[in-house]
A and B are shown apart, each in its own frame.
Chain A
Amino acid sequence: MAERRYRLAVDIGGTFVDAIAYDEQSGETTVRKSPTTPAAPADGVITATRAVGAPLDEASVYTHGTTLGLNAILERKGSVTGIITNAGFRDIFEIARGDLPRGSMYDFQYQRPPLLVRRRHTVGVPGRIDHRGEVVEELDRDAVIEAGRRLSERGVESAAVCFLHSYANSEHEETAKRILTEAFPNLSVSASVDLVREYHEYERTSTAVADAYIRPILGRYLIDLEDRLRSRGFDGSFLIMRSAGGAMTSEIARMSPLLTVFSGPAGGIAGTIDLGNATGRSSLISFDVGGTSLDSCVIVDGAPTEVYEAEIESLPIRIPVFDIRTIGAGGGSIAWIDKGLLRVGPRSAGAVPGPICYGRGNTEPTVTDASLCLGYLAADEFLGGEMSLDEEAAVQGVAEKLARPLGMSTERAAASVFDVLLARTVGAIREITVERGLDPREFSLVAFGGAGPMLAPLLAREMELPEVVVPPAPAVFSAWGMLMSDLEYDLGQTVLTMLDDAALARMESVFAHLETEADKVLAAQSVPPENRVLLRRLDLRYNGQEHTLSIDLEAADEHSAAAKFHQKHQERYGHSLKEEVQILTVRIRAIGRLDKPSGRLDGRLAVEADGAASRVGERHAFDFAARERRLFPIYRRRLLQPEVEIEGPAIIREPTAVTVIHGDQRAVPDHMGNLWVR
């Protein structure tokens, strides 16, 4: 058997597939990008896997982040899906909650996006459980069979089963699922309680529907991809990234396909937390800027906020996800003139046609075109020289479409595009910190994604943030984060009782039950007992409130649990109340510790070079500190020496990203290969 010296992570994004290979013996990492292949996603994954060069039979772990499920929902390319629910309630899914997305508040001719389930594919069956979990009416088993038959006859491939109050008593859902699975082996069945054990019937139904909608295709995709990897000699663990960080085996992913849908940005957050641990920072703001959007997440005490209220196009999905805020602004955002005012976004040129400089037919200037005008990007070094940019067209586009109508020079127009983008970004970051009562000036900004390192030092100047850290290979930082992930699994049960010692004593059996289940899940993923960690959590709230806060339960006594809740409430909402505290949900987070890469990303990149050797050229570019064009030395990041300070202005290049520091800033590489801008 070949020696397993490599760990691989491959992350599919909207534009590129990022692949990263870490060699445990040498500590070296290799990164590659290949184009995304939407028609056959596995092809792009295999291409990127090949490109990164690590022999698959020498890989111990292959971690994969996929947005296939998300895209299937967004593009309505999932399975024909039906709903089986209580008689008299078949429209819970279509009625939904009645509210409009915030951006559409004024749209009095609003049209809802096409439903994932047509009304003709919804069936009610007799049987009712009340809020205490007591059976008011027995489930009509014949009606369940009849419902399955009707749906199958109408071409339904996948069914969501959701009954009222099933979180309190799952018996009817479990029975219905068993009956359907036995009688209709070709029908995929998703029961809501397998996904969410919390109240709110619409949100539970929509979660089950989303699961049912993507389950068949995600299952087929994962099996196909795994087969292709195995046929190329891969014999290690095939892991899939989860939306709330952590990974799971592909078997679990096929059972719980929904847990993959927000995994895209999760790798970056996992990497950010890891970076914070390695560098002794616990207050971080992640700043991930790609082609079309900017994702940001606030990390306090080394932990990101998790929420259980994710949405896809206003379809609620009750699975744990990181509280990541997205602003529709990235390298591809289009700058345009609206009655004399310069706007940036929300429209984006995307990957196709992309910015003007891609030369694929777009004539509207984007942020990337402006950065060419400002001298930050080198036309022949984009993506490590794999793609060349048409600088002349970009400059001409900014000149004609922006500079002329604004009555200013091309350079000033390009700088203004950055000013406007920054103003939007400053606002957005202030908003996500102020709503939690935090001061952004106490945070380190972690910059990654293709355009993050170019913009972050500017943002730090504007917001008076103390420091920016740019990890090595920032464009594939998400994939690096995936390498650093443990196996994780969440279980929850709604209980709804006042928090007191008697209740906590009763919760012991609920915890025990969930722990047994969680332990089974870890065992099924081949986690040895000594590497299993089970964390107890409670979702608490003030009696009468709707919002809950999750606390880790260390000592199971009322006083400490309540005190922790009051304190967290104070931090989060600015006040605590004298009201009684209620337990809404009992949760177990199961963690299967995996061996981590022993070194750091690019830890060996600091080769023995003197400062002069790392300086590879110079060019004129726009310095925001002086607000004029100045001569910027250009450094090759790979050749930088640890702890040797670089004075701004300067451009620091690496194959897939560029860090720009301005005249009043300086950058220092550390021994782990991170670049600190202050």
Chain B
Amino acid sequence: MTALPALDGATVEVIRHYLNSTAEQMRRTLVRTAFNPVIYEVLDFGISMYDRNRRLISESSGVLSFLGANDYAIHKGVEKVGIENLHPGDVIMINYPYWSGAHVSDAMLFSPVFCEGSDLPDAYLAVRAHWMDLGAKDPGYVLDSTSMHQEGLIMPGIKLIRRGEPDPQIMALLRYNSRMPDTIIGDFNAQVSAIRVGERRLHQIWEKFGPATVEAAIDRIIEHGAQTAVEAVRAMPDGQWSAYDWLDDDGISYDLIKMAVTVTIEGEKFTVDYGDSDDAVPGPVNMPFGKTISLAKTVFKSLTTPNTPANHGHYQPLTVACPPGNLFHAVYPAATFTLWTGMAAFELIHKALAQGMDQIAASSGSDEPGFMAVGTHPDTGEMYAVSNNEGIGWGATPDHDGATALQHLSTTAVRNSSIEVLEHKSPIFHERLELRQDSGGAGRWRGGLGIRREVKFLAAGEMLSMKKKTKTNPWALRGGHEPKTNAMIVWPDTERAHRSRMERFSMLPGDRFRNLSAGGGGWGNPLDRSIELVREDVLDGYISAEQAEEVYGVRVEADGTAVPVGPRSDRPPPSNPPGR
């Protein structure tokens, strides 16, 4: 083994690469060995590595919403088990939502790792993944629970493996409480495989560099992360800004629910307080506090240090506050299964900061507006369940138009579903999939466009409209216009046409639905948009000639020429053409 000389900026970087690659190898092991597509395709998992003080060293996740989710749970987990009760080879499970920072289905497993001769853990490895079923009241997704006890089997920090030996009693408990025992046991094994790969690599790194050198390197890595984040926060203006937005309802009543945040930047401190939000509600849209912290961390990281794998230092400037009992700090036994609040609230920090900072984009559709279809396939007689996450228009920025038809900010690794795959797996038939003209908020920079999808059921089945922000519009900035919002119209163009919320419908053969996804908010006064860009947008049909004339003050003639109508600033076209 190479003996590297004393610690310096190069050795730290070498060790950093080894540690980051360890997390990445754990990720690939999990994806390779997982049984359920929610892990290997939807990428619903998060992997983290901690030092002995439970400071994050490195992480690797699938979707963004899993970032930082383990940080809260590892503290709670060690606290509940007791550090003196941890031994080499142990694997502990935690999914009690108020400690694990996620809903019951997201099972976090963690292991302590010991250097040779250590009595207490020198590191921890955590792998969280979405399990298909833990015995909740309904199979699949739960939309209307009113208590944690309807949401599945709870493991409040229980050893599944003791000193390398799986506990057969606990495994039986898991197995007999799940509707899909083989799948969850398969995923459990995949998570353990990932942890074991991480353990082996950590031991190799300790052996190669020496535990003391590794520890010193971790200090430097975290210090470096903190310096970078602090610098980024210092570059932001000091101030305090509040913003609020609305969630459609909790699935039980029809009342709008207020989500509010106050962001305070003071020197190198960045504080996020959700305390002005509504109190926790009966339905399952409440957020465990760990989930709220994870949400704030993701947004904070995107604003400060987007391009490096996260470590503890990157979050040093951030404080997240919210009193227990709030929508954003659910306490036992509040229902937490439906995670849509985390998506609808994702842009709240942006909305607050936009009041004091220039480099913020307008709202990117506010929600992830999908649908599911379930039923029995007439050709096979077997059950089918398909789903689609619809793209939305992203918000315009101070420099360019918003992107069109992308996934929600919090799920940027997920893909929409192919029409051809949907039509193979389920008796639905697409009649239209197009961009939704005029759906992007008008502005000097235009919001991206949403989507219009029209689907016919060929056989009886059920359709679930999956969206929690249809009653209020996404927001715009600096005189830009609000975009069109999400909508699901069931039985469109008929007498019983119904604009739905997040709910479930029985569909008969020939029944249709129309899914309309939101555009992005506009940025700046539309009368300041260059005539040339308005003309191009009309030629490409992103906006109608009517909108060009009424909102942008530009008449585009049949021959393609464009003339201003009424007063407008008539700016020359920008040198940096917009992205579409």
Contacts and interface: CB of A to CB of B under 8 A. Distances in A.
A109 B407 CA distance: 13
B224 A339 contact: yes
A1 interface: no
Interface string B389-401: 1010010010110
Contact of B424 (A104, A199, A341): A199
Contacts of A100: 406-407, 412-413
A413 B10 CA distance: 8
The dominant DSSP class at the A interface is: loop
A624 B2 contact: yes
B513 interface: no
B18 A575 contact: no
A554 interface: no
A403 to B, nearest CB: 10
Contacts of A119: 435, 540-542, 580
Contact of B14 (A88, A102, A423, A430): A423
Interface stretch (A353-361, A431-439, A527-535): A431-439
A95 B432 CA distance: 13
A494 B216 CA distance: 56
A547 B12 CA distance: 39
Interface in B2-25: 2-5, 8-18, 20-21, 24-25
B418 A202 contact: yes
B84 interface: no
A131 B405 CA distance: 25
Interface in B38-78: 40-41, 64
B227 interface: yes
B420 to A, nearest CB: 4
B415 A106 contact: no
B418 A431 contact: no
Interface string B523-564: 000000000000000011110000000000000000000000
A420 B421 CA distance: 44
A426 B432 CA distance: 48
A166 to B, nearest CB: 9
B361 interface: yes
Interface stretch (B101-109, B300-308, B484-492): B300-308
A479 B535 CA distance: 50
Contacts of A545: 37
B361 A88 contact: no
Contacts of B542: 119
A361 to B, nearest CB: 26
Contacts of B454: 88
B32 A437 contact: yes
Nearest to A110: B403
Nearest to B193: A574
Interface in A59-105: 88-92, 94-100, 102-105
A427 B413 contact: no
A419 B11 CA distance: 8
A520 interface: no
B184 interface: no
Contacts of B272: none
B33 interface: yes
A228 interface: no
A208 to B, nearest CB: 15
Nearest to B299: A108
A91 B542 CA distance: 11
A334 B14 CA distance: 16
A407 B11 CA distance: 13
A493 to B, nearest CB: 15
A131 B416 contact: no
B20 A427 contact: yes
B423 interface: yes
Contacts of B541: 119-120
Given A341-B13, A419-B10, A435 B32 contact: yes
A146 interface: no
Contact of A106 (B15, B220, B307, B435): B307
Contact of B9 (A114, A200, A406, A496): A406
Q: Which 5 A-B pairs have the closest CB atoms?
A: A111-B579, A427-B21, A416-B10, A435-B28, A423-B17
Interface of B: 2-5, 8-18, 20-21, 24-25, 28-29, 31-33, 35, 37, 40-41, 64, 186, 190, 193, 197, 220, 224, 227-228, 301-302, 306-307, 350, 361, 364, 389, 391, 394, 397, 399-400, 403-407, 409, 412-416, 418-421, 423-424, 429-435, 451, 454, 539-542, 577-580
29 contacts: A89-B432, A91-B434, A94-B405, A100-B407, A104-B412, A106-B307, A107-B302, A110-B403, A111-B579, A113-B579, A199-B418, A199-B424, A339-B227, A341-B13, A406-B8, A408-B8, A408-B10, A416-B8, A416-B10, A423-B15, A427-B17, A427-B20, A427-B24, A428-B21, A431-B25, A496-B424, A573-B33, A575-B35, A624-B2
